[in-house]
Structure 1
């Protein structure tokens, strides 16, 4: 997987309440971004993605790889990792204002609800509803776009659209939730680890 370049971590992020003159927090943030740009994807994952989340992403990668090919799967995972890193940097450096923190909480609740929907559709026969799932995914996309809006370039926003819109592919959803379908074992792994993430308070 290609390494993120410095361009992937926007320098237009403004530091909350900068001091007069030299802005040490802003400088630290820029240095952190550049260091991350030189790290391998595995190193980045260790800092921002826990083991349980990693297992969900691994299973997701396998699904996308079998559904649409290795190239698309690698592009998807690269986008996901860059989005996670971007939001992680912003949060850890106190870049979100009060309204954005409230938006982050709304996104977390909606994403938790989406995860519960995925678990239910996998575990309970005849509950799968493509329209409802697409609507939930789109709501998450909109919330995340609003959260990162003032901190991100069009390139980053495009990654968000790519990830969420990819999972709105109804043919993909039909295959994923087909009873005893070819992705059943991958989905079982995803569901087990989504539950674990909830137990660990990470979702």
Structure 2
């Protein structure tokens, strides 16, 4: 039995093309301005927290690769909407932040992404998902990001402003 599928071949070609184009300039063609602003703030917060430009770049590069590939696979599904709403509400309502709740929600989102992607992504892409969510769900990072201290407070404000715009525009 011949298992050739044009649709499968096209999907593989799209994923392969996207995996080679994870530069900031190319990503801007696939990611809107608001998403780009949120990713830039996440980069700055991560760089501040890890004190490593290389780690921050790797995290955002992996996040962009995973997001674009999953966008191709899921055609802009609503996987992260609840997560975005939780993150924004913790920022907007004082004294409600609970890093364990946010970390658990991030890990739940990671698990959903693994299930949704299934065999469509390579082991390397699944590793990228783990890298991104491992960092984002790190309770120490979340505590620093949601602390009232600068520079994290301003990073969080800009991230949440961007997430709010994305929620309002139904792009997440």
TM-score range, shorter chain: 0.7 to 0.9
| Counterpart-to-counterpart distance in 2, 1:35 and 1:47 | 13
Structure 1, gaps ≥5 residues long: 1-19, 93-100
Q: How does 1:157-196 map to 2 (within 5 A)?
A: 157-196=126-165
SS of the residue 1:85 aligns to? helix
Shift of 1:70: 0.5
Relative contact order, higher structure (CA 8 A, sep 6+): 2
Secondary structure, aligned partner of 2:170: coil
For residues 11-53 of structure 1, what are the alpha-carbon distances to aligned partners after superposition, in whole Å with 9 as ceiling and x for unaligned? Answer: xxxxxxxxx7874444444444444455461343133211111
Name the CA distance, whole Å, in 2 between partners of 1:153 and 1:88. 15
Cα-Cα RMSD: 2.3
Alignment of 1:138-149 (within 5 A): 138-149=107-118
- TM-score (structure 2 length as normaliser): 0.86
Q: Gaps spanning 5+ residues in structure 2: where?
A: none
Aligned to 2:70: 87
Tell me whether 1:42 sits opposite 2:24 in the alignment: yes
Whole-Å separation in 2 of the counterparts to 1:31 and 1:128: 42
1:178–1:89 distance in 2 versus 1, CA, 3 Å? same
Q: Alpha carbons of 1:194 and 1:40: their partners in 2 closer, same or farther (altered >3 Å)?
A: closer
- For residues 38 and 130 of structure 2, what CA distance do their matches in structure 1 show? 20
2:19–2:65: 8 Å Cα contact kept in structure 1?
no
Query: How do 1:1-203 residues align onto structure 2 when only pairs under 5 Å count?
Result: 23-39=5-21, 41-68=23-50, 69-91=52-74, 104-105=77-78, 108=79, 111-203=80-172
- What TM-score do the two structures reach when normalised by structure 1? 0.74
Report the secondary structure of 1:185's partner residue: helix
| 2-structure distance, mates of 1:129, 1:21 | 49
Q: Which has the larger radius of gyration?
A: 1
Distance 1:147 1:50 in 2: 23
TM-fit CA distance, 1:125: 1.7
CA distance in 2, matches of 1:38, 1:128: 38
Distance 1:141 1:21 in 2: 31
Runs of 4+ in 1 over 6 A off after TM superposition: none
